[in-house]
Amino acid sequence: MNTNGHKDVIEVTDLRRVYGGGFEAVRGITFSVGRGELFALLGTNGAGKTSTVELLEGLAPPAAGRVRVLGHDPYRERVAVRPHIGVMLQEGGFPSELTVGETVRLWAGCTSGARPAAEALELVGLGRRSGVRVKQLSGGEKRRLDLALALLGRPEVLFLDEPTTGLDAEGRQATWELVRELRDEGTTVLLTTHYLEEAEDLADRLAILHEGRIAATGTPAEVTASQPSRIAFDLPDGYFLGDLPPLAELGVTDHEAAGRRVRLRTHELQRTATRLLLWAERARVELGGLDIRSASLEEAFLRIAREAAGATEAALEGSRGGATARKGAAV
């Protein structure tokens, strides 16, 4: 059971995936997704999103750890799991010489309780493209065909690996709308994306992956809440940082000044902004280029990536230093 009191549809415990060459793409991750929940896996390229999803889809066995989808091992018990899941891989996988209609019929023949082909294509707005060869579709249309096939069997659980990559803004909105409807009808959805906006808009909960590990997880609000809000402005002529009220009093946790530009970080945006603006009012000065923004998922994401990169650099630095020291000793 998860916090929402729903029975978990996807359970992942200390999951690891190691590729043939020894590369460990997934390094011990744990999360669960409840029925009817939309869970997003976020991460930079190479963070391990697809490697994780493929394990959930049952395409490969994990090197270690446990996966359960609808209570079954998706790899060993794929016969029990497959009729209830819909999958959209990161990259198509349709014979380019088949028509759209033929592709859907092929899938319908392999899918229990399949929707009629026309209905599936209508869902994703490809109703008029049935007679067109797959190779003639645009990248976005291919993604939508893929989505139609994933939805063909009215799955209980939907795995969408970067469903909107290559779509234009309109197509992206349409896909989001469709995914939202499915979620509202009770479909459990796990999607990966590198569009932060997509996760912020759609996800009930999310996890940010970095180098095969979960760097942050929670609802979008929770993940964002841990991040500070930002206020930036230009100091008026003749004023210095010290002329402002004491920063601690403003609730500022961190600040930087570059020339006249001042950047403040705070966890109490309203208090900081109010006091800053009241000060400006009283001092009768104009804060040029004033920019006040609350914490966003993007900020959280960038910060996690930055911190992790910093840690990696520090580790590299350390090992380089060690190597030099050893070299020195040898000489």
Yes or no: say if 12 and 56 are a contact pair by the CB < 8 Å rule.
Answer: yes
Restricted to residues 278-297, the positions that interact with other proteins (CB under 8 A) are none
With binding defined as CB under 8 A, does residue 119 bind other proteins? yes
Residue 107 is a binding residue for other proteins (CB under 8 A)? yes
Instruction: Please give the Cα distance from 110 to 146 (Å, whole number).
Output: 15
Region for 257 from its dihedrals, namely left if φ exceeds 0, alpha if ψ lies in -120 to 50, beta otherwise: beta
Query: How far is 186 from 184, CA to CA, in rounded Å?
Result: 5
Instruction: Select 54 or 299, whichever has its Cβ closest to other proteins.
Output: 54
Among 16, 35, 72, 154, binds other proteins (CB under 8 A): 154
Structure-block tokens of residue 252 = 């500022």
Give 114 or 137: the residue with its C-beta nearer to other proteins: 114
96 vs 226, beta carbon nearer other proteins: 96
CB-side neighbour CA atoms (13 Å) of 50:
12
Q: Is 207 in the site for other proteins (CB under 8 A)?
A: no
Q: Which segment (34-42, 108-116, 137-145, 265-273) binds other proteins by CB under 8 A?
A: 108-116
Q: Which is nearer to other proteins, 143 or 265 (CB)?
A: 143
**Nearest of 255, 295, 234, 304 to residue 42 by alpha carbon:** 304
From the list 74, 73, 154, the residue with the least C-alpha distance to 113 is: 154
Site for other proteins in 40-99 (CB under 8 A): 57-59, 79, 82-83, 87, 89, 91-98
Kindly state the tokens that stand for 144.
């939508």
Tell me if 331 contacts other proteins by CB under 8 A.
no
The footprint of other proteins (CB under 8 A) covers: 57-59, 79, 82-83, 87, 89, 91-98, 102-103, 105-116, 118-119, 122-123, 154
